[in-house]
Structure 1
Protein backbone atom coordinates (compact mmCIF):
# COMPACT_ATOMS: atom_id res chain seq x y z
CA UNK A 1 0.00 0.00 0.00
CA UNK A 2 2.84 2.38 0.79
CA UNK A 3 4.37 1.78 -2.63
CA UNK A 4 1.05 2.45 -4.32
CA UNK A 5 0.64 5.71 -2.41
CA UNK A 6 4.15 6.79 -3.36
CA UNK A 7 3.46 6.06 -7.01
CA UNK A 8 0.34 8.20 -6.90
CA UNK A 9 2.31 11.12 -5.44
CA UNK A 10 4.96 10.85 -8.19
CA UNK A 11 2.35 10.82 -10.94
CA UNK A 12 0.45 13.86 -9.66
CA UNK A 13 -0.14 16.49 -12.32
CA UNK A 14 1.26 19.29 -10.11
CA UNK A 15 3.43 17.68 -7.39
CA UNK A 16 4.91 19.68 -4.54
CA UNK A 17 8.50 20.89 -5.05
CA UNK A 18 11.21 18.68 -3.54
CA UNK A 19 12.25 19.76 -0.04
CA UNK A 20 15.95 20.03 -0.94
CA UNK A 21 15.37 23.12 -3.12
CA UNK A 22 15.98 25.21 0.02
CA UNK A 23 19.65 24.17 -0.06
CA UNK A 24 20.26 25.92 -3.41
CA UNK A 25 21.63 29.17 -1.97
CA UNK A 26 24.51 31.41 -3.01
CA UNK A 27 26.45 30.42 0.11
CA UNK A 28 26.14 26.69 -0.65
CA UNK A 29 27.14 27.26 -4.27
CA UNK A 30 30.28 29.00 -3.06
CA UNK A 31 31.03 26.13 -0.67
CA UNK A 32 30.61 23.56 -3.45
CA UNK A 33 32.93 25.55 -5.72
CA UNK A 34 35.57 25.64 -2.99
CA UNK A 35 35.14 21.91 -2.38
CA UNK A 36 35.60 21.17 -6.10
CA UNK A 37 38.75 23.29 -6.26
CA UNK A 38 40.30 21.43 -3.34
CA UNK A 39 39.27 18.05 -4.79
CA UNK A 40 40.87 18.64 -8.21
CA UNK A 41 44.12 16.76 -7.42
CA UNK A 42 42.16 13.72 -6.22
CA UNK A 43 39.99 13.86 -9.32
CA UNK A 44 43.01 13.84 -11.61
CA UNK A 45 44.39 10.82 -9.81
CA UNK A 46 41.07 9.02 -10.10
CA UNK A 47 40.78 9.79 -13.81
CA UNK A 48 43.73 7.48 -14.43
CA UNK A 49 41.84 4.58 -12.87
CA UNK A 50 40.41 3.35 -16.21
CA UNK A 51 37.21 5.40 -15.89
CA UNK A 52 36.35 4.17 -12.40
CA UNK A 53 33.73 6.44 -10.78
CA UNK A 54 34.44 5.34 -7.21
CA UNK A 55 36.54 8.43 -6.56
CA UNK A 56 33.77 10.79 -7.69
CA UNK A 57 31.19 8.88 -5.64
CA UNK A 58 33.35 9.00 -2.54
CA UNK A 59 33.92 12.72 -3.15
CA UNK A 60 30.18 13.38 -3.19
CA UNK A 61 29.61 11.31 -0.06
CA UNK A 62 32.36 13.24 1.73
CA UNK A 63 30.40 16.47 1.31
CA UNK A 64 27.91 17.64 3.94
CA UNK A 65 24.31 16.49 3.29
CA UNK A 66 23.13 19.97 2.29
CA UNK A 67 25.86 20.20 -0.37
CA UNK A 68 25.28 16.81 -1.95
CA UNK A 69 22.12 18.10 -3.60
CA UNK A 70 24.20 20.72 -5.45
CA UNK A 71 26.04 18.04 -7.44
CA UNK A 72 24.00 17.09 -10.54
CA UNK A 73 23.33 13.36 -10.89
CA UNK A 74 24.86 11.25 -13.61
CA UNK A 75 22.74 10.68 -16.75
CA UNK A 76 20.61 7.53 -16.47
CA UNK A 77 22.24 4.46 -17.92
CA UNK A 78 19.13 3.41 -19.85
CA UNK A 79 18.83 6.84 -21.51
CA UNK A 80 15.38 7.53 -20.04
CA UNK A 81 14.07 9.84 -17.31
CA UNK A 82 10.66 10.22 -15.67
CA UNK A 83 8.78 13.53 -15.58
CA UNK A 84 5.37 13.74 -13.88
CA UNK A 85 5.17 9.96 -13.96
CA UNK A 86 5.82 9.70 -17.72
CA UNK A 87 9.06 8.26 -19.17
CA UNK A 88 11.04 10.34 -21.69
CA UNK A 89 14.18 9.72 -23.75
CA UNK A 90 17.16 11.99 -23.09
CA UNK A 91 17.89 12.38 -26.80
CA UNK A 92 14.26 12.58 -27.81
CA UNK A 93 13.75 13.84 -31.36
CA UNK A 94 10.65 15.13 -33.08
CA UNK A 95 8.97 12.23 -34.86
CA UNK A 96 7.46 12.46 -38.31
CA UNK A 97 3.75 12.72 -39.00
CA UNK A 98 4.00 9.60 -41.14
CA UNK A 99 5.12 7.59 -38.12
CA UNK A 100 2.18 8.98 -36.16
CA UNK A 101 -0.26 7.98 -38.90
CA UNK A 102 -1.29 11.56 -39.73
CA UNK A 103 -1.51 13.01 -43.23
CA UNK A 104 1.21 15.57 -43.84
CA UNK A 105 -0.01 18.83 -45.39
CA UNK A 106 3.38 20.43 -46.09
CA UNK A 107 6.39 19.33 -48.19
CA UNK A 108 9.06 17.12 -46.67
CA UNK A 109 12.75 17.87 -46.59
CA UNK A 110 14.66 16.19 -49.46
CA UNK A 111 16.62 13.05 -48.65
CA UNK A 112 20.40 13.45 -48.88
CA UNK A 113 20.84 9.75 -49.67
CA UNK A 114 18.83 9.97 -52.90
CA UNK A 115 20.47 10.66 -56.23
CA UNK A 116 21.39 14.32 -56.38
CA UNK A 117 19.83 14.74 -52.94
CA UNK A 118 22.70 16.75 -51.46
CA UNK A 119 22.47 19.38 -54.22
CA UNK A 120 18.70 19.60 -53.88
CA UNK A 121 18.96 19.82 -50.08
CA UNK A 122 21.44 22.71 -50.34
CA UNK A 123 19.05 24.72 -52.53
CA UNK A 124 15.86 23.66 -50.73
CA UNK A 125 14.12 26.25 -48.57
CA UNK A 126 10.94 25.89 -46.59
CA UNK A 127 8.97 28.83 -45.20
CA UNK A 128 6.95 27.33 -42.37
CA UNK A 129 5.12 30.60 -41.74
CA UNK A 130 3.43 30.37 -45.16
CA UNK A 131 2.01 26.93 -44.41
CA UNK A 132 1.00 27.94 -40.89
CA UNK A 133 -1.03 30.82 -42.34
CA UNK A 134 -2.62 28.49 -44.87
CA UNK A 135 -3.57 26.06 -42.11
CA UNK A 136 -5.03 28.87 -40.02
CA UNK A 137 -7.23 29.93 -42.95
CA UNK A 138 -8.23 26.30 -43.56
CA UNK A 139 -9.21 25.94 -39.91
CA UNK A 140 -11.46 29.01 -40.16
CA UNK A 141 -13.06 27.74 -43.36
CA UNK A 142 -13.63 24.29 -41.86
CA UNK A 143 -15.20 25.91 -38.82
CA UNK A 144 -17.71 27.73 -41.02
CA UNK A 145 -18.45 24.46 -42.82
CA UNK A 146 -18.87 22.70 -39.47
CA UNK A 147 -21.41 25.28 -38.32
CA UNK A 148 -23.38 24.81 -41.54
CA UNK A 149 -23.30 21.01 -41.24
CA UNK A 150 -24.49 21.14 -37.64
CA UNK A 151 -27.53 23.09 -38.81
CA UNK A 152 -28.28 20.80 -41.78
CA UNK A 153 -26.86 17.31 -41.10
CA UNK A 154 -25.27 16.86 -37.63
CA UNK A 155 -24.16 13.30 -38.41
CA UNK A 156 -22.06 14.48 -41.37
CA UNK A 157 -20.29 16.95 -39.07
CA UNK A 158 -18.45 14.09 -37.38
CA UNK A 159 -16.24 13.62 -40.45
CA UNK A 160 -15.34 17.31 -40.35
CA UNK A 161 -13.82 16.85 -36.89
CA UNK A 162 -11.18 14.57 -38.43
CA UNK A 163 -10.19 17.40 -40.77
CA UNK A 164 -9.75 19.63 -37.74
CA UNK A 165 -7.53 17.05 -36.07
CA UNK A 166 -5.26 16.74 -39.13
CA UNK A 167 -4.95 20.51 -39.47
CA UNK A 168 -4.17 21.07 -35.80
CA UNK A 169 -1.65 18.22 -35.64
CA UNK A 170 0.19 19.56 -38.71
CA UNK A 171 0.23 23.09 -37.32
CA UNK A 172 1.47 21.84 -33.96
CA UNK A 173 4.20 19.83 -35.68
CA UNK A 174 5.43 22.89 -37.59
CA UNK A 175 5.45 24.97 -34.40
CA UNK A 176 7.51 22.30 -32.64
CA UNK A 177 10.10 22.54 -35.42
CA UNK A 178 10.69 26.12 -34.27
CA UNK A 179 11.89 24.93 -30.84
CA UNK A 180 15.64 24.81 -31.71
CA UNK A 181 15.37 28.25 -33.28
CA UNK A 182 13.55 29.52 -30.18
CA UNK A 183 16.29 28.13 -27.92
CA UNK A 184 19.00 29.85 -29.97
CA UNK A 185 17.13 33.16 -30.00
CA UNK A 186 16.55 32.96 -26.23
CA UNK A 187 20.26 32.38 -25.68
CA UNK A 188 21.11 35.28 -28.00
CA UNK A 189 18.77 37.61 -26.09
CA UNK A 190 20.30 36.53 -22.80
CA UNK A 191 23.84 37.17 -24.05
CA UNK A 192 22.81 40.55 -25.49
CA UNK A 193 21.26 41.51 -22.14
CA UNK A 194 24.45 40.57 -20.29
CA UNK A 195 26.55 42.46 -22.85
CA UNK A 196 24.36 45.57 -22.45
CA UNK A 197 24.72 45.41 -18.66
CA UNK A 198 28.52 45.21 -18.95
CA UNK A 199 28.55 48.12 -21.42
CA UNK A 200 26.38 50.23 -19.11
CA UNK A 201 28.69 49.48 -16.19
CA UNK A 202 31.74 50.37 -18.29
CA UNK A 203 30.15 53.62 -19.43
CA UNK A 204 29.19 54.45 -15.84
CA UNK A 205 32.77 53.86 -14.68
CA UNK A 206 34.07 56.04 -17.53
CA UNK A 207 31.68 58.87 -16.62
CA UNK A 208 32.69 58.64 -12.97
CA UNK A 209 36.37 58.72 -13.93
CA UNK A 210 35.82 61.91 -15.93
CA UNK A 211 34.01 63.51 -12.97
CA UNK A 212 36.82 62.54 -10.58
CA UNK A 213 39.47 63.85 -12.99
CA UNK A 214 37.61 67.18 -13.24
CA UNK A 215 37.36 67.45 -9.47
CA UNK A 216 41.02 66.60 -8.95
CA UNK A 217 41.96 69.19 -11.55
CA UNK A 218 39.77 71.69 -9.74
CA UNK A 219 41.41 70.91 -6.41
CA UNK A 220 44.89 71.08 -7.93
CA UNK A 221 44.20 74.65 -8.98
CA UNK A 222 43.50 75.41 -5.31
CA UNK A 223 39.97 76.61 -6.02
CA UNK A 224 38.77 75.52 -2.59
CA UNK A 225 37.46 78.43 -0.55
CA UNK A 226 39.98 79.60 2.06
CA UNK A 227 39.27 78.47 5.58
CA UNK A 228 38.27 80.95 8.20
CA UNK A 229 41.17 80.85 10.63
CA UNK A 230 40.26 83.98 12.62
CA UNK A 231 37.82 82.24 14.97
CA UNK A 232 40.80 81.32 17.23
CA UNK A 233 42.42 84.70 17.87
CA UNK A 234 44.18 83.56 21.05
CA UNK A 235 45.76 80.43 19.48
CA UNK A 236 47.90 79.98 16.45
CA UNK A 237 46.62 77.33 14.04
CA UNK A 238 49.25 74.78 13.09
CA UNK A 239 49.95 73.88 9.46
CA UNK A 240 48.83 70.28 10.19
CA UNK A 241 45.43 71.51 11.37
CA UNK A 242 45.07 73.66 8.26
CA UNK A 243 45.95 70.67 6.05
CA UNK A 244 43.40 68.44 7.83
CA UNK A 245 40.67 71.06 7.43
CA UNK A 246 41.52 71.45 3.77
CA UNK A 247 41.35 67.66 3.21
CA UNK A 248 38.02 67.54 5.05
CA UNK A 249 36.65 70.25 2.76
CA UNK A 250 37.85 68.33 -0.30
CA UNK A 251 36.19 65.09 0.85
CA UNK A 252 32.98 66.96 1.63
CA UNK A 253 32.93 68.47 -1.86
CA UNK A 254 33.64 65.02 -3.33
CA UNK A 255 30.76 63.46 -1.42
CA UNK A 256 28.39 66.21 -2.56
CA UNK A 257 29.46 65.63 -6.18
CA UNK A 258 28.95 61.84 -5.94
CA UNK A 259 25.49 62.22 -4.40
CA UNK A 260 24.19 64.19 -7.40
Structure 2
Protein backbone atom coordinates (compact mmCIF):
# COMPACT_ATOMS: atom_id res chain seq x y z
CA UNK A 1 0.00 0.00 0.00
CA UNK A 2 2.82 2.35 0.91
CA UNK A 3 4.62 1.39 -2.31
CA UNK A 4 1.56 2.30 -4.42
CA UNK A 5 1.20 5.65 -2.66
CA UNK A 6 4.87 6.43 -3.25
CA UNK A 7 4.44 5.68 -6.95
CA UNK A 8 1.45 8.01 -7.16
CA UNK A 9 3.38 10.68 -5.29
CA UNK A 10 6.32 10.39 -7.68
CA UNK A 11 3.98 10.55 -10.67
CA UNK A 12 2.29 13.68 -9.30
CA UNK A 13 5.68 15.27 -8.60
CA UNK A 14 6.80 14.61 -12.17
CA UNK A 15 3.63 16.18 -13.56
CA UNK A 16 4.13 19.25 -11.39
CA UNK A 17 7.74 19.62 -12.51
CA UNK A 18 6.75 19.31 -16.18
CA UNK A 19 3.99 21.89 -15.71
CA UNK A 20 6.41 24.21 -13.94
CA UNK A 21 8.87 23.93 -16.86
CA UNK A 22 6.07 24.64 -19.34
CA UNK A 23 4.99 27.79 -17.50
CA UNK A 24 8.63 28.90 -17.23
CA UNK A 25 8.92 28.59 -21.01
CA UNK A 26 5.74 30.61 -21.51
CA UNK A 27 7.00 33.28 -19.13
CA UNK A 28 10.30 33.51 -21.01
CA UNK A 29 8.43 33.87 -24.32
CA UNK A 30 6.27 36.66 -22.90
CA UNK A 31 9.38 38.39 -21.55
CA UNK A 32 10.96 38.23 -25.00
CA UNK A 33 7.80 39.63 -26.55
CA UNK A 34 7.84 42.47 -24.04
CA UNK A 35 11.44 43.32 -24.84
CA UNK A 36 11.03 42.94 -28.61
CA UNK A 37 7.39 43.04 -29.78
CA UNK A 38 8.42 42.77 -33.45
CA UNK A 39 10.14 39.40 -33.05
CA UNK A 40 10.31 37.56 -36.38
CA UNK A 41 9.31 34.16 -34.98
CA UNK A 42 5.86 35.40 -33.93
CA UNK A 43 3.13 37.32 -35.73
CA UNK A 44 3.92 41.05 -35.59
CA UNK A 45 1.36 43.35 -33.99
CA UNK A 46 -0.85 45.48 -36.27
CA UNK A 47 0.52 48.92 -37.15
CA UNK A 48 -0.53 51.57 -34.63
CA UNK A 49 -2.04 53.89 -37.26
CA UNK A 50 -4.98 51.53 -37.88
CA UNK A 51 -6.75 53.32 -35.02
CA UNK A 52 -7.05 56.43 -37.22
CA UNK A 53 -9.21 54.58 -39.79
CA UNK A 54 -12.49 55.47 -38.13
CA UNK A 55 -15.77 56.22 -39.92
CA UNK A 56 -15.45 59.89 -39.03
CA UNK A 57 -11.91 60.19 -40.37
CA UNK A 58 -12.80 58.30 -43.55
CA UNK A 59 -15.77 60.60 -44.24
CA UNK A 60 -13.58 63.64 -43.54
CA UNK A 61 -10.91 62.32 -45.90
CA UNK A 62 -13.46 61.73 -48.67
CA UNK A 63 -14.94 65.20 -48.23
CA UNK A 64 -11.48 66.76 -48.41
CA UNK A 65 -10.76 64.80 -51.59
CA UNK A 66 -14.04 65.95 -53.15
CA UNK A 67 -13.33 69.57 -52.22
CA UNK A 68 -10.14 69.47 -54.31
CA UNK A 69 -7.53 69.13 -51.59
CA UNK A 70 -4.30 67.50 -52.70
CA UNK A 71 -2.71 64.57 -50.90
CA UNK A 72 0.11 66.81 -49.75
CA UNK A 73 -2.32 69.19 -48.07
CA UNK A 74 -4.29 66.34 -46.51
CA UNK A 75 -1.12 64.71 -45.18
CA UNK A 76 -0.48 67.80 -43.05
CA UNK A 77 -3.61 67.08 -40.97
CA UNK A 78 -2.66 65.05 -37.91
CA UNK A 79 -5.47 62.47 -37.77
CA UNK A 80 -6.05 62.24 -41.53
CA UNK A 81 -2.51 61.92 -42.87
CA UNK A 82 -2.43 58.15 -42.41
CA UNK A 83 -5.42 57.76 -44.75
CA UNK A 84 -3.46 59.14 -47.70
CA UNK A 85 -2.34 56.20 -49.89
CA UNK A 86 1.44 55.84 -49.95
CA UNK A 87 3.29 56.56 -53.16
CA UNK A 88 4.97 53.82 -55.12
CA UNK A 89 8.71 53.53 -54.38
CA UNK A 90 11.00 54.99 -57.01
CA UNK A 91 13.24 51.92 -56.99
CA UNK A 92 12.75 48.74 -59.01
CA UNK A 93 12.45 46.63 -55.85
CA UNK A 94 10.43 46.65 -52.66
CA UNK A 95 10.58 44.69 -49.43
CA UNK A 96 7.61 42.70 -48.14
CA UNK A 97 7.52 40.09 -45.36
CA UNK A 98 11.30 40.10 -45.13
CA UNK A 99 11.87 39.35 -48.85
CA UNK A 100 12.83 41.60 -51.75
CA UNK A 101 10.40 41.67 -54.68
CA UNK A 102 10.56 43.22 -58.15
CA UNK A 103 7.79 45.40 -59.53
CA UNK A 104 8.23 43.83 -62.96
CA UNK A 105 8.43 40.05 -63.22
CA UNK A 106 11.74 39.07 -64.71
CA UNK A 107 14.41 36.42 -64.55
CA UNK A 108 16.69 37.72 -61.79
CA UNK A 109 20.34 36.81 -62.24
CA UNK A 110 22.67 35.53 -59.58
CA UNK A 111 24.69 38.73 -59.50
CA UNK A 112 21.55 40.78 -58.91
CA UNK A 113 20.65 38.41 -56.06
CA UNK A 114 24.07 38.84 -54.48
CA UNK A 115 25.21 35.26 -55.17
CA UNK A 116 28.46 34.31 -56.86
CA UNK A 117 28.01 32.69 -60.27
CA UNK A 118 30.35 29.71 -60.56
CA UNK A 119 29.26 28.37 -63.96
CA UNK A 120 30.14 29.81 -67.37
CA UNK A 121 27.47 31.23 -69.63
CA UNK A 122 26.97 29.76 -73.08
CA UNK A 123 29.75 31.27 -75.21
CA UNK A 124 29.04 32.54 -78.77
CA UNK A 125 30.68 30.86 -81.80
CA UNK A 126 34.37 31.53 -82.30
CA UNK A 127 35.74 34.03 -84.83
CA UNK A 128 37.27 31.28 -86.98
CA UNK A 129 33.98 29.48 -87.42
CA UNK A 130 32.26 32.76 -88.27
CA UNK A 131 34.90 33.59 -90.89
CA UNK A 132 34.23 30.33 -92.73
CA UNK A 133 30.54 31.11 -93.29
CA UNK A 134 29.43 32.13 -96.75
CA UNK A 135 28.01 35.51 -97.71
CA UNK A 136 24.48 34.14 -97.94
CA UNK A 137 24.78 32.63 -94.47
CA UNK A 138 26.05 35.95 -93.12
CA UNK A 139 23.02 37.73 -94.55
CA UNK A 140 20.72 35.16 -92.99
CA UNK A 141 22.50 35.50 -89.65
CA UNK A 142 22.12 39.28 -89.79
CA UNK A 143 18.40 38.94 -90.47
CA UNK A 144 18.05 36.48 -87.60
CA UNK A 145 19.94 38.84 -85.31
CA UNK A 146 17.60 41.68 -86.26
CA UNK A 147 14.57 39.51 -85.55
CA UNK A 148 16.14 38.47 -82.26
CA UNK A 149 16.66 42.08 -81.26
CA UNK A 150 12.99 42.79 -82.00
CA UNK A 151 11.95 39.85 -79.86
CA UNK A 152 14.18 41.01 -77.02
CA UNK A 153 12.43 44.36 -77.02
CA UNK A 154 9.08 42.63 -76.47
CA UNK A 155 10.03 39.79 -74.14
CA UNK A 156 13.01 37.83 -72.93
CA UNK A 157 14.24 35.06 -75.19
CA UNK A 158 13.77 31.60 -73.79
CA UNK A 159 16.95 29.78 -72.93
CA UNK A 160 17.19 26.43 -74.71
CA UNK A 161 19.04 23.31 -73.75
CA UNK A 162 22.67 23.26 -74.81
CA UNK A 163 25.60 20.96 -74.32
CA UNK A 164 27.44 23.67 -72.40
CA UNK A 165 24.70 24.04 -69.80
CA UNK A 166 24.39 20.28 -69.36
CA UNK A 167 28.15 19.99 -68.86
CA UNK A 168 28.04 22.78 -66.28
CA UNK A 169 25.29 20.97 -64.38
CA UNK A 170 27.35 17.78 -64.35
CA UNK A 171 30.44 19.62 -63.12
CA UNK A 172 28.53 21.38 -60.34
CA UNK A 173 26.94 18.10 -59.25
CA UNK A 174 30.36 16.45 -58.97
CA UNK A 175 31.70 19.50 -57.14
CA UNK A 176 28.75 19.33 -54.74
CA UNK A 177 29.52 15.70 -53.91
CA UNK A 178 33.22 16.48 -53.40
CA UNK A 179 32.48 19.44 -51.12
CA UNK A 180 30.04 17.34 -49.12
CA UNK A 181 32.73 14.71 -48.52
CA UNK A 182 35.16 17.45 -47.49
CA UNK A 183 32.53 18.85 -45.11
CA UNK A 184 32.12 15.44 -43.48
CA UNK A 185 35.89 15.27 -42.97
CA UNK A 186 35.99 18.76 -41.45
CA UNK A 187 33.14 17.96 -39.07
CA UNK A 188 35.06 14.90 -37.89
CA UNK A 189 38.38 16.70 -37.41
CA UNK A 190 37.73 20.41 -36.83
CA UNK A 191 34.06 21.51 -36.83
CA UNK A 192 35.05 25.15 -36.31
CA UNK A 193 36.27 25.31 -39.93
CA UNK A 194 33.07 23.87 -41.41
CA UNK A 195 31.18 27.14 -41.94
CA UNK A 196 33.10 28.27 -45.09
CA UNK A 197 32.54 24.86 -46.61
CA UNK A 198 28.81 25.05 -45.80
CA UNK A 199 28.66 28.45 -47.50
CA UNK A 200 30.41 27.00 -50.54
CA UNK A 201 27.90 24.14 -50.72
CA UNK A 202 25.08 26.65 -50.44
CA UNK A 203 26.52 28.64 -53.36
CA UNK A 204 26.77 25.49 -55.49
CA UNK A 205 23.17 24.50 -54.73
CA UNK A 206 21.89 27.99 -55.57
CA UNK A 207 23.77 27.93 -58.89
CA UNK A 208 22.34 24.51 -59.75
CA UNK A 209 18.84 25.64 -58.83
CA UNK A 210 19.21 28.86 -60.84
CA UNK A 211 20.50 26.99 -63.89
CA UNK A 212 17.60 24.54 -63.72
CA UNK A 213 15.11 27.39 -63.35
CA UNK A 214 16.30 28.81 -66.67
CA UNK A 215 14.52 25.88 -68.34
CA UNK A 216 11.14 26.62 -66.75
CA UNK A 217 9.87 28.28 -69.94
CA UNK A 218 10.86 25.24 -71.96
CA UNK A 219 9.16 22.98 -69.40
CA UNK A 220 5.96 25.03 -69.47
CA UNK A 221 5.92 24.94 -73.28
CA UNK A 222 6.38 21.17 -73.35
CA UNK A 223 3.69 20.74 -70.69
CA UNK A 224 1.31 22.87 -72.76
CA UNK A 225 2.08 20.78 -75.85
CA UNK A 226 1.32 17.56 -73.95
CA UNK A 227 -1.98 18.96 -72.66
CA UNK A 228 -2.97 20.16 -76.14
CA UNK A 229 -2.14 16.77 -77.63
CA UNK A 230 -4.20 15.06 -74.94
CA UNK A 231 -7.09 17.43 -75.59
CA UNK A 232 -6.80 16.78 -79.33
CA UNK A 233 -6.94 13.02 -78.77
CA UNK A 234 -10.00 13.43 -76.54
CA UNK A 235 -11.67 15.56 -79.22
CA UNK A 236 -10.89 12.96 -81.88
CA UNK A 237 -12.32 10.20 -79.68
CA UNK A 238 -15.47 12.20 -79.03
CA UNK A 239 -15.82 12.96 -82.75
CA UNK A 240 -15.52 9.27 -83.64
CA UNK A 241 -18.10 8.44 -80.98
CA UNK A 242 -20.48 11.03 -82.41
CA UNK A 243 -20.01 9.63 -85.93
CA UNK A 244 -20.68 6.08 -84.70
CA UNK A 245 -23.81 7.22 -82.88
CA UNK A 246 -25.04 9.09 -85.96
CA UNK A 247 -24.46 6.04 -88.17
CA UNK A 248 -26.38 3.80 -85.75
CA UNK A 249 -29.24 6.31 -85.62
CA UNK A 250 -29.33 6.46 -89.43
CA UNK A 251 -29.48 2.66 -89.63
CA UNK A 252 -32.33 2.59 -87.13
CA UNK A 253 -34.20 5.24 -89.12
CA UNK A 254 -33.68 3.30 -92.34
CA UNK A 255 -35.03 0.17 -90.67
CA UNK A 256 -38.07 2.05 -89.41
CA UNK A 257 -38.69 3.54 -92.86
CA UNK A 258 -38.45 0.09 -94.46
CA UNK A 259 -40.84 -1.39 -91.91
CA UNK A 260 -43.27 1.47 -92.45
CA UNK A 261 -43.18 0.94 -96.21
CA UNK A 262 -43.69 -2.81 -95.76
CA UNK A 263 -46.60 -2.13 -93.41
CA UNK A 264 -48.17 0.26 -95.92
CA UNK A 265 -47.67 -2.24 -98.73
CA UNK A 266 -49.28 -5.01 -96.65
CA UNK A 267 -52.27 -2.88 -95.79
CA UNK A 268 -52.71 -1.94 -99.44
CA UNK A 269 -52.58 -5.59 -100.49
CA UNK A 270 -55.16 -6.55 -97.88
CA UNK A 271 -57.51 -3.77 -98.97
CA UNK A 272 -57.20 -4.82 -102.62
CA UNK A 273 -57.93 -8.46 -101.70
CA UNK A 274 -61.03 -7.53 -99.77
CA UNK A 275 -62.37 -5.59 -102.72
TM bin, normalised by shorter chain, reads 0.3 to 0.5
Give the TM-score normalised by the residue count of structure 1: 0.45
Considering only CA atoms, is the larger Rg found in Structure 1 or Structure 2? 2
Could you say which structure has the higher helix fraction? 2
Give the TM-score normalised by the residue count of structure 2: 0.43
